[in-house]
Amino acid sequence: MVLRCIRLRMPLHGVLLRRKTRETPHRVSREFAAPSVLPSVPVSPQTKTNLLGFLLLLLASAVVYAPAWDGDFLWDDDSYVTENRTLTEPGGLRAIWFSPGATTQYYPLVHTTYWIESRLWGFDPRGYHIVNILLHAISAMLLATILRRLDLPGAFAAALLFAVHPVCVESVAWITERKNVLSLALALGSMLLYFRHREKGGAGLLAASGALFLGALLAKTVVASLPAVIAVMIWWREGRLPRKDTTRLAPLLAIGVIMGLVTVWIERNYIGAQGSEWALSFLERTQLASHNVIFYAGKVVWPSPLTFFYPRWTPDAANFLQWIPLFALAGAAAAGWLLRARIGRGPLATLLLFAGVLFPALGFIDVYPFRYSFVADHFQYHAVPVLVCAIAVLVARTIQRARIPRVGGALLLATTAAGLLGVAHGEAHTYRNLETLWRDTIEENDTAWMALNNLGQMLARRGEHGEAIALYEAAIRVKSPYPKAQNNLATSLAAIGRGDQALAQYRAAIEADPANMNARSNLGLALVNAGRIEEGIAVLKDAIAINPRMPSLHTNLGVAYARGGDVAGALESFRRVVSLTPADPEAHFRVALTLDQAGDRRGALLAMEEVLRIQPGHPGATAWTAQNR
């Protein structure tokens, strides 16, 4: 079956259609003569082959991502799904579409899918994972269909290799990357309809293609290059770009550029993709871009090792060796152009398509993840099909020209697909939960400072402060200063009784980042716990003057007042917390206990009733109420 998919040709399809057409009149007349029997619809061998091929692609995707079916929510999945207020609050769907700052990124179609799913299966991650896997399989199916329509050998092989390729795991197994799998499926659907329009004409197909392209942009604007991709493919097939295609594609390209600029503005102003970590010169960005193209191509050809955060490469315009990738790419492009009459336009088209699809992630545009690494597997998800297709077509043509038996081609495909599937299946295991992901990332890249810090936080919450401290210290050695890790280190040091060291780390975190309110809040509480109550109160008051709406500052100030015997001051601080977080039962509980301490039993009872209204069965409020009624 695999070889039949590889060797399918459009002329064969036409022969099958003509044969069926000649047989149809006789069959129809017999069916009309027996109206009690439902008419049968003839199914051509090609249709059966297509259906079997699609089922195999779906099965392959399911096998690869089986470890992720029951996986947890991962990094950023909280802001995209579990803590995304637009999914639970009234008017959330409207905010998704018309309030750009309401969601982490303005990709309204993606958040709309989350909104729908939150009503179908709540916040069970399995449903979200399955949707991602289905979208990935659909993209593989669309890829095979497009290649067949272009009458290319190796269509099914390319789709299968894409479906099981390990580089795709990050995009499919990570719920946050619904952006990738949804936008690619829509973009490929748009491309398929455009090619059908070129063959059959009709405004409906062209309009549908444009609608799917707009949907893809609303899922992720990296697909803005799709019109240019189609143009390059037409040039590759025909040697020119007809005027009618230019006329139809130019408006789509303009829309894509506008949407891309909107995304850049949102990345800078809402997400924070600006500052020293993005301060690169144009020459350094050019170096970075060429390096990234080579890096990504290498990962497609040899997908090992893979990791969630790769080491962050540092461009150096004065280093001649770092210009070698650019020289290599420029030489390849020049050779492709000069030799196009001899070797065909395919090599140059492949390079243009691969680099063009990657362009948003090459370094000329600032995106927030660049603060961790300039490369990521999910950055090249849309570009993977380009190289996979080029390789599959090249191998299929080589097999045909060398007259290698079909069994040899089938064995080669099966072996390659099985190898990739095994690697991808293993990679999918690392996305089962956050601890597994962070440990695997650190094993592959011990300079991944964010992973070191985040794993430390997970362990600290479980009370494993010894390992957490070692991880924080490793993160600080890699990235210094690192205020967040210094604050976390201080908290773990305080938890194991190393108070003086904790105070020093809190102060170091504040010195590195004066706006770090968590460090200021924790420093104030640490001073109070050390018996330096007045000093702690002063630190907390200074912090509140900077950020008066941070609840933890008022909570710690209330604790400081209570420790110092100032019940009125404590009550005022705790009531301020209630005004900031009226739905927090613990805030009301602290007010109730303070009222009881002040001798206001009735006020304490009313406050405890409010606690139980917000959280029925609250242990502390339930016990107090039972004793004091």
End-to-end CA distance of the chain: 78
List of long-range contacts for 446-450, beta carbons under 8 Å, 24+ apart: 446/474, 447/311, 447/312, 447/478, 448/307, 448/308, 448/309, 448/311, 448/372, 449/475, 449/478, 449/479, 449/482, 449/485, 450/309, 450/372, 450/475
Are 195 and 218 part of one and the same domain?
yes
Kindly report the pTM of this predicted structure: 0.85
Q: Residues 159-193, buried b or exposed e (16+ Cβ, 10 A)?
A: bbbbbbbbbbbbbbbbbbbbbbbbbbbbbbbbbbb
For residue 537, being part of any structural domain is answered with: no
Domain range enclosing 344 = 46-73+123-434
Identify which of 179, 195, 280 has the alpha carbon closest to the alpha carbon of residue 229: 195
Any idea what the Cα angle at residue 491 is, between residues 487 and 493, rounded to 5°?
115
Give the separation between CA 58 and CA 6, rounded to whole angstroms: 18
Structure-token match 């059959």, residue found: 200
Helix (H) or strand (E) holding 340: helix 340-343
Return phi, psi of residue 581, to 5°.
Answer: -135, 75
Q: Compute the distance between CA of residue 68 and CA of residue 432 in angstroms, rounded to an integer.
A: 6
In a domain, 557, yes or no: no
**Same domain flag for 228 and 176:** yes
573 falls within a domain:
no
Same domain (yes/no): 367, 423:
yes
CA distances from 580 to 551, 576, 604, 618 (A): 7, 6, 20, 20
Domain count, the chain: 2
Same-domain pairing of 11 and 59? no
pLDDT tens per residue, range 215-232: 999 999 999 999 999 999
Q: Do 415 and 329 have their domain in common? A: yes
Which of 406, 434, 462 delimits the end of a domain?
434
Q: Please report the pLDDT score of residue 273 as a whole number.
A: 57
Q: Is residue 113 part of a domain?
A: no
Evaluate whether residue 111 is within a structural domain. no
d(CA 508, CA 59): 54
Residues 39-54: tens digit of each pLDDT: 444 556 667 777 888 8
Same domain, residue pair 349 and 412: yes
What pLDDT is recorded for position 566?
Answer: 92
> Does a structural domain hold residue 152?
yes
225 and 336 assigned to the same domain: yes
What confidence score (pLDDT) does residue 38 get?
39
Q: Which residues of the chain have pLDDT under 70?
A: 1-46, 269-276
Provide the pLDDT for residue 68. 86
State the Cα–Cα distance between residues 599 and 182, nearest whole angstrom: 60
595-611 as b/e: b if 16+ CB within 10 A: bbeeeeeebbbebbebb
Q: CB–CB of 56/160 below 8 Å?
A: yes
Q: At CB < 8 A and 24+ separation, what contacts does 479-482 make? A: 479/449, 481/508, 481/509, 481/511, 481/512, 481/513, 482/449, 482/453, 482/512
| Six token digits for residue 71 | 């996986």
Give the pLDDT confidence score for residue 105 in this predicted structure: 86
CA distance 526 to 520: 10
Closest among 583, 592, 595 to 621, alpha carbons compared: 592
Classify residue 403 as exposed, middle or buried by CB count within 10 Å of its CB (0-12, 13-18, 19+). exposed
24 and 129 part of one domain: no
Q: Is the peptide bond before 481 cis (omega within 30 degrees of 0)?
A: yes
CA distance 153 to 156: 8
Say whether both 145 and 185 belong to one domain. yes
In a domain, 358, yes or no: yes
Residues 150 and 26 occupy one common structural domain: no
Residue 7 shares a structural domain with residue 156? no
Whether residues 201 and 141 share a domain: the answer is yes
Q: Residue 176 domain-assigned?
A: yes
* 3-class secondary structure per residue, 496-558: CCCHHHHHHHHHHHHHHCCCCHHHHHHHHHHHHHCCCHHHHHHHHHHHHHHCCCCHHHHHHHH
